Structure 1
């Protein structure tokens, strides 16, 4: 998962709105969202066995973004996708947060969103910062929460605008936020230690290239009656929709 936009108690009918893109190499084997034997609703990274985003039967949610810091990455690090599975299975977020702090160095850098649908947290493995998501709109990409990268600011502004509609919420409006392929101008590109052409490619919310790009977009909404919608679209390397999963749950 490479970018998430989260609105907490900003829409009169939907106290939680999550819009997220997963970016990955197209050659990496992946299963779309499905119900795991454990009851989790999540896609699966078939190479390492974990996931990037999921929902548990009892209303726990988790999602992960990598921190882009190639100079600190290790080849022998544990797979970060297992952290999402652990978060979905956790039963005490205070203890789980301490576990994340203790074992942070075993993984390459990451941000983890986790908790119940009415009380989400974000943990950053580099700074060991932990934040509870209070009412507001958040953007999380490959740096700290609400780091003002152009694409993060673009998505936060668009989600803020979508929350102003008092009559309803269109999932297609949310998908259109995630499909924005506008690249940042060169002078606003972040400097994360990768080559400038890659920085440019990765500077849009929706990424498209033959080898690497946005593999899926997922919308999660929770209404005032605790009805949850999970709607995922998967994409080809050319950016065309090649699959769709839509599940409704009552938590």
Structure 2
């Protein structure tokens, strides 16, 4: 997952709204969002290589999502996949703060993790200082650096999300197309605005749009999640390969 846009306690009836793009190699096997049949209660996609997820939610109102940290440095093979981090939180009763504090960064490659139980939302990373930061109410963006780092895609995404949230009724049957429209922006950032993460200018340019598409790597899934105050939610995902949209799935949980 390379972009998470979050409206936290901004909307009057949906305390958590997430619009996210997961970027990954097209060849990596993936299962679209579904209700897991392992007793965990997780609703989300699944990485079929490691068994974890990049974004998930439960009927009890728990939410978690992960991104990698991009710094251009080669890393050895870590003991665990980053996808185990959201899965571990969703399949537990730990508070977001406690889970963030206990996350063992040495077991994983560079990561950002967001975890919420609807009462609180925490961000934690093993590449930046702190054992977890409580996220304040507002519009936030997370890509492959610290929370709210002003990369062009984060800045543009946050502004577009704020506009979409302001027009969202929050009703279960409300149209979520405005969220997908912002997630599908393919406009690259101007060269002068590109971050320097050690991958070179050409690669930075390829990765700068909200929606990434290259020959072998790009946005595999766009996801919109709206969790209401009573714990009910709707989760909609569109999947892609290198050429086109390959599917759409919507899952609803009533209170």
TM superposition score category, shorter chain reference: over 0.9
Which structure 1 residue ranges, 5 or more long, are not aligned? none
> Of 235, 248, 251, which aligns to 1:247?
251
Query: SS of the residue aligned with 2:159?
Result: helix
Distance in 2 of aligned mates of 1:208 and 1:118: 36
Name structure 2 gaps, 5 residues minimum: none
Q: State the shift of 1:250 in Å.
A: 2.7
1:201 to 196, 200, 206: 206
Shift of 1:166: 6.7
CA 1:54–1:166: 2 relative to 1, 3 Å: closer
Moved more, 21-30 or 112-121: 112-121
Give the C-alpha shift of residue 78 in structure 1. Answer: 2.2
SS at match of 1:204: coil
Written as runs of structure 1 = structure 2, the 5 A alignment for 1:129-208 is 129=130, 130-165=132-167, 167=169, 170-208=175-213
1:90 aligned to 2:122? Answer: no
Find the residue that maps to 1:232 and give its secondary structure.
Answer: strand
**What is the Cα deviation at residue 223 of structure 1?**
2.8
Per the normalisation by structure 1, the TM-score is 0.93
Secondary structure at the residue paired with 2:13? coil
Tell me, yes or no, if structure 1 residue 235 matches structure 2 residue 240: yes
The yes-or-no answer on 1:35 pairing with 2:38 is: no
Q: Is residue 2:234 matched to residue 1:221? A: no
Change (3 A) 1:22 1:166: closer
Deviation at 1:20, TM superposition (A): 0.5
Q: Hey, what's the Cα distance between the residues in 2 that align with 1:13 and 1:115?
A: 17
Q: Secondary structure at the match of 2:11?
A: coil
- Count the aligned residue pairs: 248
Tell me the C-alpha RMSD between the 2 structures. Answer: 1.7
Q: Distance in 1 between matches of 2:119 and 2:84?
A: 23
Tell me what 2:46 maps to. Answer: 44
Aligned mates of 2:185, 2:250 — CA distance in 1: 21
* Residue 18 (structure 2) pairs with residue 18 (structure 1): yes
* Structure 1 Cα separation of the partners of residues 94 and 15 of structure 2: 22
C-alpha distance in 2 between matches for 1:54 and 1:235: 19
SS at match of 1:144: coil
Pick closer, same or farther for the CA change 1:118–1:181 going to 2, 3 Å: farther
Cα deviations across residues 193-230 of structure 1 (Å, max 9, x unaligned)? 11221111100100012210000011000234432011
Q: Which residue of 2 aligns with 1:3?
A: 3
Q: Is the 8 A contact 1:87 1:115 kept in 2?
A: no
Contact 2:15 2:118 in 1 (8 A): no
